[in-house]
Amino acid sequence: MNTAIIQDTTMTPTLIPTILVESQAPRRDVVFLLDGSDGTRSGFPAMRDFVQRVVETLSVDENKDRVAVVQYSRDPAAQFYLNTYTTKGEILNTVRGLRHKGGRPLNTGAALQYVRDNVFTASSGSRRLESVPQLLILLSGGRSVDNVDTPASALKELGVLVFGIGTRSSDSRELQRISHDPSYALSVSDFTDLPSIQQQLLSSVEAVVIVAPESPTVLVDHDTARKDVVFLLDGSDGTRNGFPAMRDFVQRVVEKLNVGGDKDRVSVVQYGRDQEVNFYLNTYTTKGDILDIVRGLRHRGGRPLNTGAALQYVRDNVFTASSGSRSQEGVPQMLILLSGGRSNDNVDIPVSALKESGVLIFGIGNRNSSKEVQRIASDPSYSQSVSEFSDLPSVQDKFFSSLITVHVGATPISPTVIVDLSIARKDVVFLLDGSDGTRNGFPEMRDFVQRVVEKLTVGENRDRVSVVQYSREP
């Protein structure tokens, strides 16, 4: 499998970016979400047997395929996580012993949200941040009582490929909406007929790999990387005592950045009932200017706390070209939220809009806001919690480490594309600076191109390569 990884990490400075091309056996994180409600009691043994047969076809190992099973009805319950077992035998033994959960009503929406927030996470064994494909196989025997659209969209934004299998008692349109694509929604008359669609599902599972279509395979040097970083600070009445600590935290993070017009850019927005921009991404171009302004920030005050409106505001007014955002140049867009309370308005829609725009969201909350902040963050692992904002120094190093080592890159509206591994093809164009200023470095550039081409599978119907050199003219 060829994996495209963009990673901002500290390295020895070099003018030539390093291309990381990884070729290895396919790896998948596969989660089964089983309808264990009262309506599936008679069909549950067939569901259990189906899971067993699918697992038997996988290459289960800590460094290959990983498997998790979640059962749900009114509430979801994880039977085991992706990192609970590392051998196929252990998984099969547990699957054989699964007992029907029971309960009603059927809350498929809540179950989908649960697996997003609690199973497709690094702490539960997900390797999403290593570009390992994330697959969810849903078996549902009825129509959901709650809303499925928002959590299904959240899973797709996370890059999870969802397959849905239903019976005649299910809502076929609901399953199609939940699935990654309507063609990934399969139907059987009854769960005892699952063997009839097993091969169709397996063919789909085996033929896909998830890659980020707009992310080049570049390992970024932290010393030369560029980032647009926006701090969104809770300046409501509830954070008056903690605001000096928030201000000091911003100052310490900025001190670690490579601030400059062509390097890192910083913006600070404060909010309560309304939003106020302290400065935009293109207001200041030196670290000294920014630190002077940050030191002088005064608490804004106001209530209630409208985090949703503030998130929408930064999307529409700060992460824009006119305000200094370089998203159209492929520069990573990062939002750091510090929130001290639960929002008075809805945060889900603006959060989804930010993520669709390619903004990577980090969050720090206190005991009043940590759960909501975790939901807002791009991944639960990108959120930190402190008892009080005066404890921010205790999470600073861990937070900054996450900030500079995450996979970055503009996230397209459709975060995944499906590539048939048997016919994977790439068109690769090298555009080389051949101006007078690169005369000494050109041999290294040439060698670099050669090393990359050696890694490709070149052929008329496989990978194709072009090289263009330019100075005044290409």
Predicted TM-score (pTM) above 0.85? no
Hey, how many other C-beta atoms are within 10 angstroms of the C-beta on 241? 12
Least confident among 41-50, 205-214, 284-293? 205-214
Residues in a beta bridge with 290: none
pLDDT band at 406 (very low <50, low <70, confident <90, very high): low
The confidence score (pLDDT) of residue 207 equals 66
Residues in CB range of 101: below 8 A, 6 or more apart: 36, 37, 71, 72, 73, 77
The count of other CB atoms within 10 Å of the CB of residue 131 is 23
Amino acid at 328: Q
123-136 pLDDT, tens digit each = 889 988 887 899 99
pLDDT at 404: 65
Task: State the average pLDDT for the chain.
Answer: 82
pLDDT value at position 425? 67
**Cα 440 from Cα 198, distance rounded (Å):** 59
pLDDT band at 262 (very low <50, low <70, confident <90, very high): confident
Element (H, E) at 90: helix 88-96
Nearest Cα to Cα of residue 119 among 84, 73, 88 = 84
Q: Is 46 helix (H, G, I), strand (E, B) or coil?
A: helix
Assess contact for 69 and 50: CB atoms under 8 A. Answer: no
Within 8 A by CB and 6+ apart from 119, the residues are 31, 68, 70, 78, 81, 82, 126
Instruction: Give the pLDDT confidence of 35-90 residue by residue, as tens digits.
Output: 999 999 999 999 999 999 999 989 898 888 999 999 999 999 999 999 999 899 99
Say how far apart CA 228 and CA 315 lie, in whole Å. 13
Residue 31 is predicted with a pLDDT of: 97
Across the range 320-326, mean pLDDT stands at: 91
CATH numbers and ranges of domains, the chain: 28-207 (3.40.50.410), 227-405 (3.40.50.410), 427-470 (no CATH)
Token pair of 70, please? Answer: 């979640």
